[in-house]
A and B are shown apart, each in its own frame.
Chain A
Amino acid sequence: VTRLIARRGLTYPADPESLQIVRDAGGFSQLDDFDIARVRVKSVEPGEPCDDIPTESLPLYLERGDVEVVDAELDQPSDDDIVTPVEE
C-alpha cells in the first residue's frame, strides 16, 4: 500500500463536489461568486498526506518531486512514537 506525501505546500479543492465545481468552471480563475462560496479548499503542508490531490494535477507534481509516493508502512508511527497512557 502506498501513500502520496506532499514535499511542498499544496492547496486544492477539499472534496469531490468542490473539485467538480472547479473542473466544470475550467479552474479557480473561472469561478463566479456563487461557485466561489460553494468551493472548499484544502491546504497540505510539506510532509503531510495528499492522497486526494486532483488526478489531473498529480503527474506534474510527481515529476517535479513536489509529491512523493511512499510505502504506507513507513508512514506509520514506530513503537517509540506511541505513548501509552499511564493508569493511576
Chain B
Amino acid sequence: MAGKYGASSFSVLLIDGRNLLAAKVKNFTHKIISLMEPSHGLGDGWEASSPVGLQRAELTQDGAFFDDTTNGIHETMKASENVSRILCFAFAGNIIGRSFVGIEGTYGMAYDVLGQRGALTKANVAYQVSGQVDRGQIIQDHATKVASWNTKSLGTQVDYSTDPAQTVIPITSSSVANPSTITTPVSHGLVTGQRIVISGHAGSTPAINGQQTVTVVNATQFTIPVNVTVGGTGGSFVRGSTANGGVAYLQVSDMTGFTGFVGKVRSSADDITYADLATFTNVAAAPAAQRVTVNGTIDRYLSFDGAPTGSGSITAFCGFARA
C-alpha cells in the first residue's frame, strides 16, 4: 500500500492557525480545475475546447461537528465572507518530509449549520480560493514544543532528493571528457547551475553517483565537472536544488506562556552549513498563520528553526513548496 493513505493520514487541516480537524471533519475535497473556453465555430462538426491558461481551486469540507468553542469551527467560519485566509492541509500524515498543500486567499464561500433530529449538529464549509495552490513538503510537523529547536540539529531536516513527488530522469550515458557530458533519453528539464543527485550509474571512472552541479548543453544533454576517463551507462537522477524560489507556510495553533515566536526556514546544499531562507515575522499570539515568498535557488536540504521568547509551550506547523 506504499503511496496510498487512509483517513487517519489526513492529519493536518489548519486555517489561520485554527485546527479544524478538532471538529471531526468527515469529508474534505480539493479540486484543481483548468478553465477552458469553447473554441469551435461555424463549419465545425464537433465541439472543441481550449485551455485559457488559468486554473481554479475549489475546497469543501463537510460532516464536521458544529463547535462554538474558542477557535472552533463556528468562530472560524461564521463571519467568513471577504476574509482572506491561509490554509494548510496534509493528507499523507503529519510527518516531516511528507506532502502538504498550502493556499493563501481562501474564502469561506458557504457555511452551513445542519441541525438534524436525533443527531449532533453539523457544519459544512465550501471555500472559494483566490490565488494559487502550493504543494510542497512538511518541514515542521504540527507538534508541541516547550523550548527553542531546529530540525537540523534533531536530524529531521528534509532532503529534497527523497521527495516522492520528484520526477526520476533516466541516464543514457556519461562521456569520456572533462567535463563529462551526460545524455538522457528524455528532456532533462534542468537549468545551468542546478544541482542533481545521480544514482545507479555504472561503469564510469571515476564514479559520478552523488551530488553534481550541471551546465546545460541542450534539452537532453548537460555536463558535470568530472574528468571521466571511462564512460558509464544507466542510472538516473533527481533534482538536488530548484531555481525558481518557493513559498513557506507557518501555522501556530497554540501558544501558552511564550510572549513571542520567530520561525525560520533554512536551506543547505551540503547538509553541513545552513543559510537563512525565509524568516517569519514574530508571532505574538495564537492562532496565527503566515505565508512568505522567497526567490532564487532553493538548495537540497531544508530545516526549520523555532525560537520562542520566554517559557511556555507552542504548537506549530511549517511547510515549504518549491516553485
Interface residues of A (CB under 8 A from B): 8-13, 19, 22-23, 26-33, 36, 39, 41, 53-54, 56-57, 60-61, 64, 66
Chain B residue total in the interface (Cβ 8 A): 23
Out of A9, A32, A41, A64, name the residue touching B153 (CB < 8 Å). A41
Contact check, A53 vs B152: say whether CB atoms are below 8 A apart.
no
Interface residues of B (CB under 8 A from A): 150, 152-155, 157, 159, 264, 266, 268-276, 279, 297, 301, 303, 305
Contact check, B155 vs A36: say whether CB atoms are below 8 A apart.
yes
| With A9-B264, A11-B266 as contacts: A31 and B155 at CB distance below 8 Å | yes
**A31 CA to B288 CA, complexed, in Å:** 33
List of 9 A-B pairs having minimum Cβ-Cβ separation, nearest first: A27-B271, A9-B276, A57-B273, A12-B273, A11-B274, A31-B155, A28-B152, A8-B275, A54-B272
**Chain A contact residues, majority secondary structure:** mixed
| With A10-B276, A36-B153, A39-B153 as contacts: A26 and B266 at CB distance below 8 Å | no
Out of A8, A27, A32, A66, name the residue touching B272 (CB < 8 Å). A27
Contact check, A54 vs B275: say whether CB atoms are below 8 A apart.
no
Please name 15 further chain A to chain B contacts, defined as beta carbons within 8 Å, in addition to the given A33-B155, A61-B275, sorted by A numbering: A9-B264, A9-B275, A11-B274, A27-B272, A27-B301, A28-B152, A28-B155, A29-B157, A41-B150, A41-B152, A54-B273, A57-B269, A57-B270, A57-B273, A61-B273
19 contacts between A and B (CB under 8 A): A8-B276, A10-B273, A10-B275, A11-B152, A11-B266, A11-B274, A11-B305, A12-B273, A13-B272, A22-B271, A27-B270, A27-B301, A28-B155, A28-B274, A29-B159, A29-B271, A36-B154, A41-B152, A54-B273
Smallest distance from the beta carbon of A61 to chain B beta carbons, Å?
7
A56: nearest residue on chain B (CB-CB)? Answer: B270
Smallest distance from the beta carbon of A88 to chain B beta carbons, Å?
37
**A19 CA to B272 CA, complexed, in Å:** 8
